[in-house]
Amino acid sequence: MEKVKDLVCGMMIDPEKAAATSEYKGKKYYFCAKGCKVAFDKDPEKYIKAEEKAQ
């Protein structure tokens, strides 16, 4: 499976081996560690908007 980006730390990870996941507005996000999930869950829009600007 193609690797995905952890929006919090920027690490590329295998979704099947992700330490944690979150669902936000119908989309699933994958994280390398539970700490990244916690940070994302506190303010998902912050990370989503930062990623959109980077593209």
Read off the pLDDT band of 5 (50, 70, 90): very high
- Number of domain units in the chain: 1
Read off φ and ψ for residue 29, nearest 5 degrees.
Answer: -120, 145
Q: Which domain holds residue 25?
A: 4-54
Q: List pLDDT tens digits, range 30-46.
A: 999 999 999 999 999 99
Q: Is the dihedral of CA 52, 41, 13, 26 positive or negative?
A: negative
Strands 4-5 and 12-13, by their bridges, are: antiparallel
Q: What is the pTM of this model?
A: 0.92
Cα distances (Å, whole numbers) of residue 49 to 2, 17, 19, 44, 45: 22, 25, 23, 9, 6
| C-alpha closest to that of 7 among 26, 32, 27 | 32
Average pLDDT across the chain, whole number: 96
